[in-house]
Amino acid sequence: MHKRHARINLGVQFLPRRLAFFELDPRVIDSKPLCVLVAEDNPADVFLIREALTGRFPDVEIVVQEDGEQMMHWIDEAERGATPCPDVILLDLNLPRISGEEALWKLRRSGICSDVPAVIVTSSDSPRDRKATASLGANHYFRKPTDLDEFMKLADLVGDILSSKQEIL
């Protein structure tokens, strides 16, 4: 009789046993799901962001803040330790109540989440906005495209950010 052995896939594709250990994605080891904080007031844009992210990261946890005031409250909660820092923040500039620029300013002065990569996701193509957000510490600037396929590239940008973040660690 022949025994069948179950093969477990840990994110390694048929590598020799001596190399497999080094190729494991750290998320497989600590099983922490990707968490993305989205500060966006437009439900259609939230839907598109969710579609882009879940298409590439099926287990992503997406936390949405619908205006700048909610974003400021979230930063306060994170500073108190009541909520964990996300892996990436996607921040609209044109938020109601408090602007995305003000929220970014506060985030970068936060004692706990100041190093979280922040991507400005906006319809603005203004050089002034690009310069201002860069000076406030935005890591990337993603202009919301009108084409769906181009919008889906937001997930590629997030993936690139996570890859470079893990290279630093």
- Has this prediction a pTM greater than 0.85? no
Give the tens place of pLDDT for each residue, 138-158: 999 999 998 889 989 999 999
141, β-bridge pairs:
120
pLDDT at 21 over 60: no
Give the tens place of pLDDT for each residue, 78-125: 999 999 999 999 999 999 999 999 999 999 999 889 999 999 999 999
Q: Are 76 and 103 in contact (CB under 8 A)?
A: no
pLDDT at 26 over 80: no
Q: Is pLDDT larger for residue 68 or for residue 168? A: 68
The pLDDT value recorded for residue 31 is 56
Domains recognised in the chain with CATH numbers: 35-168 (3.40.50.2300)
Secondary structure (H, E, C), 21-48: HHHCCHHHHHCCCCEEEEECCCHHHHHH
Confidence band for 2, pLDDT divided at 50, 70 and 90: very low
